[in-house]
Amino acid sequence: MKIKNIQDITLPPSGGMVIFVSGVTGQDGSHMVDYLLKNVPEATIIGGARRLSVDNHDNIVHLEHEPRFQLVNFDLTDSHSIYKLMEYAKPDYFINFAAQSFVASSWDFARQTWQTNSTSILDCLEAIKRLKPSCRFYNAGSSEEFGNVIVTPQNETHPPRPRSPYGASKAAARTLIKVYRESYGIYAVQGWLFNHEGPRRGKEFVTRKITTNVVRIKNEIDAALNSLPDGVASFDWKVTPIELGNIDACRDWSDAEDMVDAVWRMLNQEVYNSSHLGYATLTGGRFTPEWTKLYVGQGMVKDYVCSSDVNHSIRDFVTEAFKVAGIEGRWFINMKNEPLSERFVYVDGGIPVPDVVLVRINPQFYRPAEVETLRGDSSAIRKELGWNPKTNFNELVKKMVTSDLSQVKKV
Ligand code: NAP
Ligand code: G4F
């Protein structure tokens, strides 16, 4: 997709709304752009992506001919890039989804994680403060900040107890955001988003790793069964199992499309907040810099927890994903009860086939420190901003497996 330099963008006539979204090649950034195109018809949308030798535009290829969307070169770790953006585009909203987002890599690239997820947020806040203090800033916070949780479910009052360089970097960014909000009256927020997934999820994250591999295994099984002569039942065949780490970890999974709606609500709290409807009425549903100042100054802008409020283990996700693909399996552990030898085996007509292993454990995927369980309490955003997510766990798994099945068919 054609990518411009920031100084070459076409801006709307004076007074037109400009929204900048970073990380648009990723899952959330691309969904955010789709959401804004649909729900904020007056906005010009600029998407930021970093230059790569070989581009990775799969998640935004559908925007190629969208007249209200422009793609620009943007690198969050280069403060000049941030300043240039604020100087030329002067966005009304800056929605930051760019990050080193893979927790497991944050131990291997701790400094780069900190630079991208924390130091760069300071650069964004400084650039906003100096060049357009009325710009509304969203930074993508995470339930990983809660880490080694002390209470379940976790709401906005849970203390930060990160377990990874990633979690620590997001907690640091949150503190900076609060400081800039309180010191300079900048409308800056950071939601605690619990895990959210979908067909655009990167294939290293556990859900998409499972769904893509379930589809691969389904094809392997179909090929094996189709190659048998008619009427002959044989299990003299194998599949390459999925290798996973800690399958006992529990996550609170939502649909990424529901989450971007929550983000937009957090960025427009006076419009959606049921207890402050007067603001929205007085401003006709649009904010003015004066209202923003008052709203932020009175401490009414808040960070919210966004979650499905239900959690499941990785093991549950595996079982459900195979079920959606029409494959029955069963978990087995050896007599000595060693978790590393646990496996998920193929079941035919109710009978387990021990030699056909669908999933096995590989300690390589264990982390130096694990967040064992996360479950959110999102009652505040539901009550105050009217957020109402649409997709539950089973629907999400079905959506992902079905999408991956359809991709294979296209190839
Ligand atoms: P993602 O799919 O990995 O997307 C991250 C995006 O950031 C990609 O477009 C990536 O570009 C971009 N990026 C990385 N480094 C950059 C840099 N230096 N300059 C510019 N762009 C850069 O992640 P996601 O799931 O959409 O998550 C979005 C945000 O939400 C992240 O901040 C993540 O930490 C946070 N979050 C996600 C979840 C979740 O469950 N998905 C939950 C809580 C918080 P490339 O394509 O070039 O790599
Ligand atoms: O899918 P994951 O890699 O996501 P994780 O670590 O929860 O992080 C995601 O959610 C955060 C919100 O809480 C975001 F802030 C972050 O950006 C990211 O989007 O791993 C989920 C769980 C972990 O407990 C992990 O140990 O799955 C476990 N797991 C077990 N086997 C595995 C694997 N994770 C991966 N990626 N690969 C495995 O083979």
The tens digit of pLDDT for each residue in 214-238 reads 999 999 999 888 887 776 666 677 8
Ligand 1: which atom is nearest the Cα of residue 75? Answer: 19
Largest CA distance in the chain: 77
The closest alpha carbon to 345, from 336, 355, 335, 337, belongs to 355
- The ligand minimizing its distance to the Cα of 50 is 1
**C-alpha pair distances (Å), 201 with each of 198, 241, 255, 334:** 5, 21, 10, 33
- The ligand minimizing its distance to the Cα of 21 is 1
Give distance in angstroms: CA of 285 to centre of ligand 2: 38
Give distance in angstroms: CA of 342 to centre of ligand 1: 32
Taking the CB of residue 138, how many other CB atoms lie within 10 A of it? Answer: 22
Ligand 2 pocket, 244 CB below 6 A? yes
pLDDT mean over 382-391: 96
Report the pocket of ligand 1 as residue ranges, CB < 6 Å.
22-23, 25-29, 50, 52, 56, 74-77, 97-101, 116, 140, 142, 193, 195-196, 202
DSSP conformation class of 94: E
Output the pLDDT for position 411.
47
Answer whether 114's CB lies under 8 Å from 170's CB. Answer: no
DSSP conformation class of 320: H
Output the pLDDT for position 284.
59
Instruction: Enumerate the active-site residues.
Output: 142, 144, 166
Q: Give the HSE-up count for residue 114: Cα atoms under 13 Å, Cβ half-sphere.
A: 8
Give distance in angstroms: CA of 81 to centre of ligand 1: 17
Distance CA 137, CA 71 (A): 19
pLDDT tens digits along 103-121: 999 999 999 999 999 999 9
The closest alpha carbon to 375, from 324, 322, 308, belongs to 308
Output the pLDDT for position 237.
79
Helix%, strand%, coil% for the chain, nearest 5: 45, 15, 40
Distance CA 258, CA 165 (A): 27
Distance CA 398, CA 411 (A): 20
| pLDDT at 200 exceeding the cut of 70 | yes
Ligand 1: which atom is nearest the Cα of residue 120? Answer: 18
pLDDT confidence tier of residue 80, bands split at 50, 70 and 90: very high
pLDDT tens digits along 392-411: 999 999 999 999 999 866 54
Give distance in angstroms: CA of 173 to centre of ligand 1: 15
Ligand 2: which atom is nearest the Cα of residue 371? Answer: 24
Output the pLDDT for position 231.
67
- The ligand minimizing its distance to the Cα of 376 is 2
Q: Out of 195, 340, 343, give the residue to mutate to test ligand 2, the one with the largest number of ligand atoms within 8 Å of its CB.
A: 195
The closest alpha carbon to 93, from 52, 132, 67, 140, belongs to 132
Output the pLDDT for position 276.
63
Give distance in angstroms: CA of 143 to centre of ligand 2: 11
| pLDDT at 286 exceeding the cut of 70 | no
Output the pLDDT for position 339.
73
Q: Out of 206, 248, 255, 305, give the residue to mutate to test ligand 2, the one with the largest number of ligand atoms within 8 Å of its CB.
A: 206
**C-alpha pair distances (Å), 399 with each of 70, 75, 173, 263, 277:** 29, 32, 32, 22, 36
Give distance in angstroms: CA of 101 to centre of ligand 1: 5
Give distance in angstroms: CA of 289 to centre of ligand 1: 29
Ligand 2 pocket, 304 CB below 6 A? no
Q: Out of 103, 113, 243, 252, give the residue to mutate to test ligand 2, the one with the largest number of ligand atoms within 8 Å of its CB.
A: 103
- Locate 50 and state its tokens: 């970093």
Selected residue with higher pLDDT from 179 and 293: 179
Q: Out of 55, 101, 209, give the residue to mutate to test ligand 1, the one with the largest number of ligand atoms within 8 Å of its CB.
A: 101
Output the pLDDT for position 204.
98
Tell me which residue has its CA closest to atom 3 in ligand 2: 205
Tell me which residue has its CA closest to atom 20 in ligand 2: 206
Output the pLDDT for position 285.
57
Distance CA 211, CA 314 (A): 12
